[in-house]
Chain A
Amino acid sequence: MTRKRTHVVLAIALLSLGLLLTTGYAYAAETIPQPVAFSHKIHVTGYKMSCRFCHSSTNKSQFANLPSVEKCMMCHRSIATDKPEVKKVAQYWNGKKPIPWNKVIDVPNHVYFPHRKMVNAGIPCLTCHPGMDQAGTAEQKLEFGMGFCMECHRKKKVSIDCWTCHY
Chain B
Amino acid sequence: MLDRRQFLKLGGATAFATLFGGCEKVQRKLIPFVIPPENYTLGEALWYASGCRQCPAGCGVVVRVSEGRAKKVEGNPLHPVNRGKLCARGQAALQALYHPERLSQPMKLSGARGSGSYKPVSWEEALSLLMGPLKTVKTEAPASLLMLTEPMRGHAGLVAGRFMKAFGSPHRVAWDPFGPDAMITANAAVYGVRDLPEHDLANTRYLLSFSGDFLETGISPVHYAREFGRMRGDRETIRGKFLHFGPRLSMTAAAADLFLPCAPGTEGIVALGIAHVMVRDRLTAAASAAGRLSDDLSPYSPEAVEKKTGVHAHDIAAAAEEFARNQPGLAIGGTAASTGQDGVFHCAAVALLNVLAGNVGEPGGVSFPNRAQAFAKYGAETPLLAPPPESGYAGMRAALEKMRSGAFRMAILSGATNPAFTLPPALKFVEALSKVPFVVAFTSFLDETTSLADLVLPVPTALEEWGDDVAPVGHAGAVTLCQPVVTPFHDTRSMPDVLIAAAKELGGDPAKALPWGSFRECIEKAYGGPGGEMEKALQRGGFFGESLSPRSAPRERKTSFPAARERDFDGDPKAFPLVLHLYPSVTLYDGRGANLPWLQELPDPVTTAMWRNWVEVNPKTASGLDLAEGDAVTITSSSGKIAAHVAFNPGIAPDVAAMPLGQGHTRYGKYANGRGENPISLLPAGETYALQATRVALAKTKLSTTLARAAHPEGQWKVKNMM
A32 to chain B: closest residue by CB: B27
> In the assembled complex, which residues on chain B have CB atoms less than 8 Å from the CB atom of A92?
34
CA distance A85 to B27 in the complex (A): 22
B19 touches A101 (CB 8 A): no
CA distance A106 to B26 in the complex (A): 13
Contact of B30 among A62, A70, A93, A102 (CB under 8 A): A102
B34 touches A68 (CB 8 A): yes
A72 to chain B: closest residue by CB: B32
CA distance A3 to B41 in the complex (A): 60
Given contacts A9-B16, A61-B42, contact A68 B32 (CB under 8 A): yes
Instruction: Say if the beta carbon of B557 comes within 8 Å of chain A.
Output: no
B31 touches A70 (CB 8 A): no
Contact of A98 among B25, B31, B42 (CB under 8 A): B31
Instruction: Say if the beta carbon of B9 comes within 8 Å of chain A.
Output: yes
Given contacts A13-B15, A57-B44, A61-B43, contact A1 B32 (CB under 8 A): no
Contact of B35 among A66, A69, A103 (CB under 8 A): A69
CA distance A100 to B29 in the complex (A): 6
Q: Which of B221-241 contact A (CB under 8 A)?
A: none
> In the assembled complex, which residues on chain B have CB atoms less than 8 Å from the CB atom of A97?
34
Given contacts A9-B13, A16-B20, A20-B23, contact A70 B42 (CB under 8 A): no
Given contacts A13-B19, A57-B42, A60-B41, contact A69 B32 (CB under 8 A): yes
A65 touches B32 (CB 8 A): yes
Instruction: Say if the beta carbon of A12 comes within 8 Å of chain B.
Output: yes
Closest chain A CB from B287 CB (angstroms): 64
B34 touches A98 (CB 8 A): yes
Contact of B32 among A3, A12, A60, A99 (CB under 8 A): A99
A10 touches B12 (CB 8 A): yes
Most buried by B among A6, A26, A99, A101: A6
CA distance A16 to B639 in the complex (A): 79
Q: Residues 70-86 of chain A: 1 if any B CB is under 8 Å from the residue's CB, otherwise 0?
A: 10000000000000000
Instruction: Say if the beta carbon of A126 comes within 8 Å of chain B.
Output: no
CA distance A126 to B76 in the complex (A): 43
Contact of A65 among B15, B28, B42 (CB under 8 A): B42
Q: How many A-B residue pairs have CB under 8 A?
A: 89
> In the assembled complex, which residues on chain B have CB atoms less than 8 Å from the CB atom of A62?
43
A102 touches B27 (CB 8 A): yes
B43 touches A101 (CB 8 A): no
Given contacts A6-B9, A13-B16, contact A93 B34 (CB under 8 A): yes
A68 touches B5 (CB 8 A): no
CA distance A3 to B3 in the complex (A): 12
Q: Residues 48-59 of chain A: 1 if any B CB is under 8 Å from the residue's CB, otherwise 0?
A: 000000000100
B13 to chain A: closest residue by CB: A9
A98 touches B33 (CB 8 A): yes
> In the assembled complex, which residues on chain A have CB atoms less than 8 Å from the CB atom of B42?
57, 61, 63, 65
Contact of A103 among B27, B33, B36, B41 (CB under 8 A): B27
CA distance A100 to B13 in the complex (A): 37
Closest chain B CB from A18 CB (angstroms): 10
Contact of B41 among A20, A61, A96 (CB under 8 A): A61
CA distance A96 to B33 in the complex (A): 10
Q: Which of B162-195 contact A (CB under 8 A)?
A: none
Closest chain B CB from A114 CB (angstroms): 9
CA distance A76 to B8 in the complex (A): 61
Most buried by A among B15, B25, B32, B41: B32
> In the assembled complex, which residues on chain A have CB atoms less than 8 Å from the CB atom of B29?
100-103
Contact of B12 among A6, A57, A98 (CB under 8 A): A6
> In the assembled complex, which residues on chain A have CB atoms less than 8 Å from the CB atom of B44?
57, 60-61
Q: Residues 40-82 of chain B: 1 if any A CB is under 8 Å from the residue's CB, otherwise 0?
A: 0111100000000000000000000000000000000000000
> In the assembled complex, which residues on chain B have CB atoms less than 8 Å from the CB atom of A32?
27
Instruction: Say if the beta carbon of A124 comes within 8 Å of chain B.
Output: no
B31 touches A16 (CB 8 A): no
CA distance A62 to B43 in the complex (A): 7
> In the assembled complex, which residues on chain B have CB atoms less than 8 Å from the CB atom of A6?
5, 8-9, 12
Instruction: Say if the beta carbon of A46 comes within 8 Å of chain B.
Output: no
B12 touches A13 (CB 8 A): yes
A106 touches B31 (CB 8 A): no
> In the assembled complex, which residues on chain A have CB atoms less than 8 Å from the CB atom of B19?
13, 16-17, 20
Closest chain B CB from A72 CB (angstroms): 9
Closest chain A CB from B36 CB (angstroms): 5
B31 touches A101 (CB 8 A): yes
> In the assembled complex, which residues on chain B have CB atoms less than 8 Å from the CB atom of A67?
32
Given contacts A9-B12, A57-B43, A61-B41, contact A3 B34 (CB under 8 A): no
B15 to chain A: closest residue by CB: A13
Contact of A68 among B15, B27, B28, B36 (CB under 8 A): B36
B34 to chain A: closest residue by CB: A69
A30 to chain B: closest residue by CB: B25
> In the assembled complex, which residues on chain B have CB atoms less than 8 Å from the CB atom of A17?
15, 19
> In the assembled complex, which residues on chain B have CB atoms less than 8 Å from the CB atom of A13?
12, 15-16, 19
A96 touches B27 (CB 8 A): no
> In the assembled complex, which residues on chain B have CB atoms less than 8 Å from the CB atom of A98?
31-34
B34 touches A103 (CB 8 A): no
CA distance A101 to B29 in the complex (A): 6
B28 touches A102 (CB 8 A): yes
A69 touches B33 (CB 8 A): yes
> In the assembled complex, which residues on chain A have CB atoms less than 8 Å from the CB atom of B13?
9
CA distance A100 to B33 in the complex (A): 10
Closest chain A CB from B21 CB (angstroms): 11
Closest chain B CB from A56 CB (angstroms): 8
B20 touches A70 (CB 8 A): no
B7 to chain A: closest residue by CB: A6
Most buried by A among B12, B28, B44: B12
CA distance A31 to B19 in the complex (A): 23
B16 touches A103 (CB 8 A): no
A106 to chain B: closest residue by CB: B28
B44 to chain A: closest residue by CB: A61
A101 touches B32 (CB 8 A): yes
B22 to chain A: closest residue by CB: A20
B30 to chain A: closest residue by CB: A101
A96 touches B5 (CB 8 A): no
> In the assembled complex, which residues on chain B have CB atoms less than 8 Å from the CB atom of A12?
16
Interface residues of A, Cβ cutoff 8 Å to B = 1, 3, 6, 9-10, 12-13, 16-17, 20, 26, 28, 32, 57, 60-63, 65-70, 92-93, 96-103, 106
User: Which 8 pairs across A and B sit closest by C-beta, in order of nearness?
Assistant: A9-B12, A65-B42, A61-B43, A103-B28, A66-B32, A13-B15, A63-B43, A68-B33
11 contacts between A and B (CB under 8 A): A3-B5, A6-B12, A12-B16, A13-B15, A57-B44, A68-B32, A69-B35, A93-B34, A99-B32, A100-B30, A100-B31
Interface residues of B, Cβ cutoff 8 Å to A = 5, 8-9, 12-13, 15-16, 19-20, 23, 25, 27-36, 41-44
Q: A1-B5, A68-B32, A102-B29 are in contact. List 7 more A-B contacts (CB 8 A).
A: A6-B9, A13-B19, A16-B19, A61-B42, A62-B43, A99-B32, A103-B27
